[in-house]
Structure 1
Amino acid sequence: MSQTLHARRLVTASQIIERPTIRIAADGSIASIEPDSAPQAANETFAATFFDIHTHGGSGHDLMEATPKAFANVSGFLARHGVGHYLPTTVTASIDKTLTSLEGIAREIECAATSRWNPAHARPIGIHLEGPFISHAKRGVHPPAEILPPDIALFDRFQQAASGHIRLITIAPEVPGALDLIHHCALQGVRVSLGHSNATAAETRCGIEAGARSATHTFNAMRALDHREPGILGVVLDEEALYAELICDGVHVAPELVRLWFKAKGQRHAILVTDSMAAAGMPDGEYTLGTFAVKVADGRAFSADDLTHGKHTLAGSVLTLDRAVSNLRRFTGAPLEVASRLASHNPAILLGLGDTLDGFEPGKPANFNVFDEDGELERTVLHGRTIG
């Protein structure tokens, strides 16, 4: 059934359309957008659905389970929080476990491209390989025994298992062999993100010269900033063209440093991610991230093993992207049209998908996030259907 939607404004990648009337065809695509035609009473803002390029799971499931049940639960959960597309993200595990997970994830990605996929669910459209090519010094909760030196042949095995669906990979540029792998990935069109790294400034610049285009969860699992040796963090904040993820939950990064990151990267190269794990959307308790145990309490996820040794190592988050956008607005004062861009347009542009994921044109899927007068997510529309 066709339908007509009215809004106070529609935020696109390049402009704000005032008082649009949006007509949706029976197949869930956009039929037309007419500016300056909505009733004056319309007070909602429409914007692109979010694109989470760094999520490990949610709703009680880890995406490395790589089963239809896990993907159905996670994809439905993400959609209820404004996500239209996402990259299932791996965590360091054994080679065999990683290969098995990549094969299963690839099957779900290919299913999501067909009519069999539930149109009310967010769609996985590629894979973010986080590990095993990272630094032991900044491994976070990644299991040390499974961290491996960068290896082109092994990456090719991973990509073959993934049926070519690896779109993003996190690599520590200072590890021997990293620059060759970064260059190899870049030549294949796989975007490289620098992270879990103890790199110096010079080592980081070499990674960028080899083809890296982004940074993984800025501030976290990175060499600390020093005024004489700025290290990877200093270069990430200073290098204008480099994209930079951030987990904006107020736990991983203090509000003062969220503001510093936003000032440094601006509205064009800052990217909001969740790094969410299975406990997102769930009560406190014990969960898994990849193959290891995580304990969640008071909105914080910690490595269960580290807790037994008196350490408090964060293990992903329980953040959702709608809350990340809201937190960014609260921490920085950024307007909704800018904050939502960081969770939708910027990650799409990084991956070369801007024209296909967040465009509002006749014939494209009617995917919108609908925000109330206060800028809070009210509901999501996917393929013309209201999600909640």
Structure 2
Amino acid sequence: MATTTLTARYLITDIGSIEFPVITLSSDGTITDISSDPRALANERDTLTAAFFDIHTHGAMGHDVMQSSPAELGEMQRFLATRGVAHYLPTTVTASVDATLSALEALANAIEAEPRDGEAQPVGIHLEGPFLSHAKRGVHPPNDLQPPSITLFDRFQSAARGHIALMTIAPELPGAVGLIAHAHRQGVKLSLGHTNATAADAIAGIGAGANSATHTFNAMRPLDHREPGILGTVLDPRPDHAPLFAELICDGVHVAPPLVRLWLKAKGLDLAILVTDAMSAAGMPDGDYTLGHFAVKVAHGRALLAEDLAAGKETLAGSVLTMDRAVANLQRYTNAPLGDAARLASHNPAAMLGRPELTRLAPGSLANLNRFDAKNNLVATYVRGRAI
């Protein structure tokens, strides 16, 4: 079997770093050996890390995962790979029940298809809605929001053929705690979001099985010093509940840099997760786009709901962030080293989902890696051993 090798100055894995790594790859794109040899270094000052895993993205390149054909999903997946992403969770937006069922079936087909060269691979579905708070719905259409329902969730999971891996839910809604417990028993991960929850509501959701928070700070009850609410519960550095992962959209638009630093200090390097929450305009010029069935105007790095903008109100409608920029922004805002920033975009989301093998770099693992130059710029991505 033919083999190739990759070398660099450093390799950063989920358990440590290796100087002067020599990574041997087989022709099927798996790692067969990792060793260290300073003699193999060819004037490189690069660092290799695990490729990224975006667990919250709605689209890119003009395509929305709710209504994309296989060819359009392929175009989106090729774009994601050029931004360092090897795995992702296509993320739904609240829509009619029929539209959601149709989207879930199509996404299940994409997940079950053979991985294609040069493309990020969908490995599960993030169901964002319809079990969300009207008070904190953001751009999710109010007429399509649903009360938490085990029966409806089971219909969704059946349409998805079991591929719903993560679900965002507001824990304060009647029936939410029961649904969280039901989905948790099926192995689905639950994320608290689009929520006006009190601290007690949030803790009840965590007790039922929720293990993450969706885009921290955004679409959440604001912090109050007498009622910490969902946000205080997420950021509590000494919680009286199970550890909670927390997503953040690190684009400088959704969350100000001082609060990015607060979030990272509160969650630490094991529970913080970078996401893009990207919509169809990611990778595209400014203009008019859609998120689900909503019109969105994109200008100067901001995606805003068109109908609210016309009424003089600004409502963020996802982002146009890419994961390589999220990692670069985190380093700039917090002075985090590259390895820590990359961890938040790779190993932590995989750990939250209980899928650490997706980003592990060891013999037998897929060779999904990112290469950064001496200035920490992403310069190459290897998906299943092939350079993008």
What TM-score results when the alignment is normalised by the length of structure 1? 0.97
**Structure 2 contact 52–84 (Cα < 8 Å) conserved:** yes
Q: What SS is found at the alignment partner of 1:77?
A: helix
Give 1:290's aligned residue.
Answer: 292
Counterpart-to-counterpart distance in 2, 1:39 and 1:174: 56
State which of 181, 187, 211 in structure 1 corresponds to 2:209: 211
**Structure 2 contact 347–360 (Cα < 8 Å) conserved:** no
**Structure 1 contact 19–42 (Cα < 8 Å) conserved:** no
Q: What SS is found at the alignment partner of 1:65?
A: coil
Give 1:272's aligned residue.
Answer: 274
Give 1:163's aligned residue.
Answer: 161
Counterpart-to-counterpart distance in 2, 1:204 and 1:70: 38
Counterpart-to-counterpart distance in 1, 2:266 and 2:182: 29
Counterpart-to-counterpart distance in 2, 1:100 and 1:40: 51
Give 2:258's aligned residue.
Answer: 256
The code of the aligned residue for 1:250 comes to G
Aligned residues: 382
* 1:364 aligned onto 2:365: yes
Give 1:200's aligned residue.
Answer: 198
Give 1:2's aligned residue.
Answer: 3
Unpaired runs of at least 5, structure 1? none
Counterpart-to-counterpart distance in 2, 1:269 and 1:247: 15
Superposition deviation, residue 40 in structure 1: 6.6
Q: What SS is found at the alignment partner of 1:96?
A: helix
Give 2:13's aligned residue.
Answer: 12
Counterpart-to-counterpart distance in 2, 1:129 and 1:211: 16
The code of the aligned residue for 1:225 comes to L
**Structure 1 contact 222–232 (Cα < 8 Å) conserved:** yes
**Range moving further from structure 2, 29-38 or 140-149:** 29-38
The code of the aligned residue for 1:343 comes to A
Superposition deviation, residue 36 in structure 1: 3.4
* 1:62 aligned onto 2:64: yes
Give 1:139's aligned residue.
Answer: 137
How big is each residue's C-alpha offset from its partner over 1:106-153, in whole Å with a ceiling of 9 and x where there is no partner?
Answer: 000000xx2xx3221000000000000000000001000001100000
How big is each residue's C-alpha offset from its partner over 1:314-361, in whole Å with a ceiling of 9 and x where there is no partner?
Answer: 00000000000000000000001100000000000000100x211222
The code of the aligned residue for 1:160 comes to S
Q: What SS is found at the alignment partner of 2:93?
A: coil
Counterpart-to-counterpart distance in 2, 1:330 and 1:78: 22
Give 1:312's aligned residue.
Answer: 314
Alignment of 1:27-42 (within 5 A): 27-37=28-38, 38-39=40-41, 41-42=43-44
Superposition deviation, residue 73 in structure 1: 1.2
How big is each residue's C-alpha offset from its partner over 1:44-84, in whole Å with a ceiling of 9 and x where there is no partner?
Answer: 10000000000000011001114202210110010000000
The code of the aligned residue for 1:181 comes to L
Counterpart-to-counterpart distance in 2, 1:34 and 1:209: 43
Q: What SS is found at the alignment partner of 1:170?
A: strand
Q: What SS is found at the alignment partner of 1:52?
A: strand
The code of the aligned residue for 1:267 comes to L
How big is each residue's C-alpha offset from its partner over 1:360-385, in whole Å with a ceiling of 9 and x where there is no partner?
Answer: 22232211100010111111011121
* 1:241 aligned onto 2:243: yes
Give 2:109's aligned residue.
Answer: 107
State which of 43, 46, 49 in structure 1 corresponds to 2:45: 43
Counterpart-to-counterpart distance in 2, 1:359 and 1:257: 30
Q: What SS is found at the alignment partner of 2:66?
A: helix
Percent sequence identity over aligned pairs:
62
How big is each residue's C-alpha offset from its partner over 1:151-199, in whole Å with a ceiling of 9 and x where there is no partner?
Answer: 0000000000000000000000001010000000111110000000001
The code of the aligned residue for 1:175 comes to L
How big is each residue's C-alpha offset from its partner over 1:27-48, in whole Å with a ceiling of 9 and x where there is no partner?
Answer: 2221211113432722110000
